[in-house]
Amino acid sequence: MRHAQCFQVTTGGGGLCCAPDGSRFATTDQSTQISVWSLAAPSAP
């Protein structure tokens, strides 16, 4: 399974995910710390 790398870069919410295909999408997170996590990226059929 491919995963997108997500980086929390702001305080109080708002992050950026970099998908394996190079696309980026915003996320919402209430964490006040810079964190990195993985999200399951949808796989092409």
Break the chain into its structural domains and give their ranges. 3-40
Q: What is the pTM of this model?
A: 0.27
**Residue-level pLDDT at 28:** 55
Buried b (16+ CB within 10 A) or exposed e, 1-37: eeebebebeeeeeebebebeeeeeeeeebeeeeeeee
- Summarised one tens digit per residue, pLDDT across range 18-34 is 666 666 665 655 443 33
Q: Where does the pLDDT of residue 1 fall: very low under 50, low under 70, confident under 90, or very high at 90 and above?
A: very low
Distance between CA atoms of residues 29 and 13, nearest Å: 4
